[in-house]
Amino acid sequence: MNTSYFISLITAMFIGGAAGYVGSLMATKKMSLVGDVLSHIALPGIGLGLLYGINISLGALASLVLGIMLIWILSLRTELSMESLVGVVFVLSLAVGFLITPEEELLHSLFGDISAVAMPDAVAAVFISVVVFIAARMIYSKMMLAYVSEDLALASGVKINKYNLIYLFLIAAVVAFGIKVGGTLLTSAMIIVPAAVARNVSRNMRQYSLLSIMIGIASAVGGFAVFPFLAERFGLSVVAIGPVIILASIAFFTVSLIFKNNK
Amino acid sequence: MDFQDNQNLIDNKEEKLLEPAVIAHQVVPQPPTPVISELILEVKNLTVSFGEENVVDNLSFSLKKGENVAIMGPNGAGKTVLLKALLGILPYQGEIKWSENAKISYVPQKILPEKNLPLSVEEFFRMKKAGKEQAKEALASVGITDEKFLKKMIGTISSGQLQRVLVAWGLVGNPNVLFFDEPTAGIDIGGEETIFNLLNKIEKERNLSIILVTHDMSVVYGFADSVLCLNKKLICYGPPSEALGSEGLKKLYGEGVTFYKHEH
């Protein structure tokens, strides 16, 4: 237990909450895999950051923004679905990312490295989480309406394309600043799993969005709480904290399945 | 002198005052009262195309305030496309001019929320900035008065109820033009009857123009002031009994259809 551990915990809680919240909007069928895959588009940026000694969050953000713009432009120009475009950009990023990321750092990019989280990173992550939360809250109900019926949303003056783009950028921000704690895998898990848990047990949008945030935070806390014991017992390195957080969220998911049957 | 006499005096005065006006009216005819013919929508040379194909081709018509219009035509005739262009959610060429006070609302053909979609009826109304009371009022006008209904998940209500909810949603904000895309589609016969009655009720209560896409002849004859037949181009337009003579129908659906008219 040291300061770095607590800084990481707080960072993970904020990122977990923000990721859970934006993830809940991904309940839309069309988007569910987009967010997951999107997080890996950060890889080339992380690699470049490591190579040239730039902050990897900034590198990741740059690479995500580029990737998203590419996907968005292609989606307007072609008839292809968002998923297949994201898929194309995803494998491209993965290939480039693996080629340029130094081998010993690959594991850290995927799974994070809490020992690398310094105070400035934590402050940035907390700040970004709050900004993302506020922005997502502003577009939440419009995105949900677009999900219920695109025509209804368009007829009510909702600019769906614009909101989709804003939404993708919000995910990019969460992923970029969550990377140091849990790597790309953890952030994508935090986007998908809490929303799935919440969806299993919620009866309305308020419960759903609130639960998504809470499960995101609780998974981070749970993961950090359990980790020291697991680390001692099995001799895990700090890299393993991301996967432990993911397992914590999966534990919540299992519980939610039980409640779902009783709904 | 009592009240009655006074009244007579006043009446006489008014008569005298009126006389010159009547004469003047005979000399200079007044224009027809503007309220009756006030246009709420003018469409000129409207064309909507997807790629090379013109789905709606060079359409011109106009709508008077309070008029109910049925848009009909065979499948693929561009009915829904026309509706969406009028709503401004599809790009088009030509001119669509709504009057300044037009307040348009839209009831979509069908939505299919998943069973477990975490969205309550109340929250669905809040998406249109309607509070609980407004939602209740709108639901009451479509015949749903159950207090608990607001708490229900939108994916769990029946398709008939969902259709009513969509109509109620369209009524929020007191529009004066209401678009319906096939309001009878997907509802069983019992429900169809009530949706049709509902249209009449809403139209009377709220004094609005209803523009609906429909295949249902009984809806056209029983409800619409005019019918607009569409098969990419404008085929006929006018009161149903005139526009839908056998000639009109032949043009719209082809030679096979020669006779189809409900006499109520």
pLDDT at residue B220 in the model: 80
- Whether residues B59 and B84 share a domain: the answer is yes
pLDDT at residue A5 in the model: 80
Q: Is B113 on the interface with A (CB under 8 A)?
A: yes
pLDDT at residue B16 in the model: 41
B190 belongs to a structural domain: yes
Residue A30, Cβ neighbours under 10 Å: how many? 12
**Range with the poorest average pLDDT among B25-34, B151-160, B240-249:** B25-34
Give the pLDDT band (50/70/90) at residue B37: low
- Whether residues B20 and B140 share a domain: the answer is no
Q: Are B47 and B57 a contacting pair, CB within 8 Å?
A: yes
pLDDT at residue B88 in the model: 86
Q: What are phi and psi of B48, to 5 degrees?
A: -120, 125
Burial class for B14, CB neighbours closer than 10 Å (0-12, 13-18, 19+): exposed
A118 belongs to a structural domain: yes
Which residue positions in chain A have pLDDT lower than 50?
Answer: none
Which of B106, B122, B127 minimises the CB distance to A145? B127
Q: Are B191 and B204 a contacting pair, CB within 8 Å?
A: no
CATH number of the domain at A204, please: 1.10.3470.10
pLDDT at B12 over 60: no
Domain of residue B7 covers 3-30
Tokens, residue A161: 């394309």
B258 belongs to a structural domain: no
Give the pLDDT band (50/70/90) at residue B183: low
B40 belongs to a structural domain: yes
Residue of B nearest to A152 (CA): B108
Q: Which of B121, B124, B127, B171 would you mutate first to test chain A, the one with the most A CBs within 10 A?
A: B127
A129 belongs to a structural domain: yes
- Whether residues B53 and B171 share a domain: the answer is yes
How far is it, in rounded angstroms, from Cα B194 to Cα A77?
Answer: 44
- Whether residues B192 and B88 share a domain: the answer is yes
How far is it, in rounded angstroms, from Cα A6 to Cα A3?
Answer: 5
- Whether residues B9 and B123 share a domain: the answer is no
Size (chain A), residues: 263
pLDDT at residue A33 in the model: 67
How far is it, in rounded angstroms, from Cα B78 to Cα B54?
Answer: 9
pLDDT at B126 over 80: yes
A263 belongs to a structural domain: no
- Whether residues B178 and B54 share a domain: the answer is yes
Give chain A's domain count: 1
CATH number of the domain at B146, please: 3.40.50.300
pLDDT at residue B7 in the model: 44
Q: Which of A29, A78, A205 would you mutate first to test chain B, the one with the most B CBs within 10 A?
A: A205
Tokens, residue B90: 């599809």
Q: Is A138 on the interface with B (CB under 8 A)?
A: no
A31 belongs to a structural domain: yes
Evaluate if pTM is beyond 0.90: no
Rg (CA), chain B: 23
How far is it, in rounded angstroms, from Cα B158 to Cα B253?
Answer: 34
pLDDT at residue A127 in the model: 94
A144 belongs to a structural domain: yes
pLDDT at B9 over 50: no
A151 chain-B contacts, CB cut-off 8 A: 84, 89, 106, 108
Measure B192 CA to nearest chain A CA, in Å: 22
Residue predicted with more confidence, B178 or B18? B178
b (16+ CB within 10 A) / e for B234-250:
bbbbeebeebbeeebbe
B263 belongs to a structural domain: no
How far is it, in rounded angstroms, from Cα B108 to Cα B212?
Answer: 10
B261 belongs to a structural domain: no
pLDDT at residue B19 in the model: 43
Q: Is A206 on the interface with B (CB under 8 A)?
A: yes
Q: How large a percentage of chain B has pLDDT more than 90?
A: 7
- Whether residues B178 and B199 share a domain: the answer is yes
pLDDT at residue A263 in the model: 52
Give chain B's domain count: 2
Query: Could you report the per-residue pLDDT of B191-226, keeping only the tens digit for each?
Result: 555 667 777 778 888 878 888 888 777 778 777 888
Domain of residue A204 covers 3-258
A213 chain-B contacts, CB cut-off 8 A: none
